[in-house]
Amino acid sequence: MEYWNEEQTLLAKTVSDFATKELGPMAEVLDDTESFNLNAFKAMAPLGLLGVLAAEEYGGAALGCTEATLVMEKLSEQCASTTLSYLAHTILCVNNITENASDEQKRKYLPDLIAGKTIGGMGMTEPGAGSDMLGMQTKAVRKGTKFVLNGTKTYITNGPIGDVFVVYARTGNEKKEISTFIIEKDFPGFKTGKKLKKMGMRASPTGELVFDNCEVPEQNLVGKLNDSVSHMMRNLNIERITISGISLGLASATLKYAKQYVQERRQFDKPLSEFQATQQKIAEMATDLEAGRALTYSAAKAYDRGDRDMSLGAKAKLFTAQMATRAGLDGIQLLGGYGYTREYPVERYMRDAKLMEIGAGTNEIMRLIIARQELEL
């Protein structure tokens, strides 16, 4: 089934070739050392990938959600970790600024972000506020021509390596009185906390952002004061669609490796691929992947048409996240003892896939969004 037009297919081929050359050979060693592929990240800039959704006047490619999603899929077939950092940069930071910032802010920050001179991220989650994003406690108080921020963000992708962060903070007493700020790493009172050691996505640095009387110029307020809930919801929607591309890439890589293995591996004098139990798993993996692609690119194309139904992204993310984790587990099972070792990549695929059920909204939150839409609650 064709999900992409001719230009999108060409983009997919270009990104796939890039990922095979630049990401694949380093994926295992970077997972082992928990290191970031900075060279590959910077090499994405000439291809226009770091500003895939941004306007051309700032150096962006001015493409849509469909193209951004297929980029995620093709990159993550080789290294989901690097792709996760790419998503945090392009969707959570660059696209957020593109959608919500002033022209002056765009001119100041977008060119360097899109050129790969600076690395971006976004700060929303806190130690005591994950799924309940409106329960955040980081506060910003205006003092003269500055805002002073106090609080901590955690589980921040690109936290240890980022230069520019889009950060949400409470600026009033009401639950929805939240504002958006652009934070530079050298702002007084800002520092990054400990780098977190993780089960998967180990080549994507994750850490804390700490604000201790952090001074932020008032011109770094994005949009209107106390009016950022809409910013968060818009960006969460496209994040959930595009992150589904990472799940697709992981499931695709797992299926490809598993098929190759069962055709080559022999037991009882015949290839594993001739056993019915093996065929059943391969059939389920392939069917799930096809269904995931149909759902994800349907949501992406709807977004590009202007349909901002939050449940579309939630459905795509829920299904593909579960599918990718299941594919990883089945891949390990098909490889048997070999699958459980780190000599083979399927265990990494499974570890990486599990984050898809947590990040950008847990499976449980996705179900709530979908149910509320279906039941008109």
Residues tagged active-site: 239
Tell me how far CA of residue 37 lies from CA of 27, 41, 124, 189, in angstroms: 9, 6, 24, 28
Q: Give the three-class secondary structure for 210.
A: strand
Distance CA 348, CA 254 (A): 10
Backbone angles phi, psi at 193, to 5 degrees: -85, -160
Distance CA 359, CA 15 (A): 24
Distance CA 210, CA 1 (A): 47
Q: Give the three-class secondary structure for 306.
A: coil
Distance CA 377, CA 368 (A): 10
Distance CA 209, CA 80 (A): 23
H-run or E-run covering 155: strand 146-157
CB 165 within 8 A of CB 123: yes
CB 155 within 8 A of CB 124: no
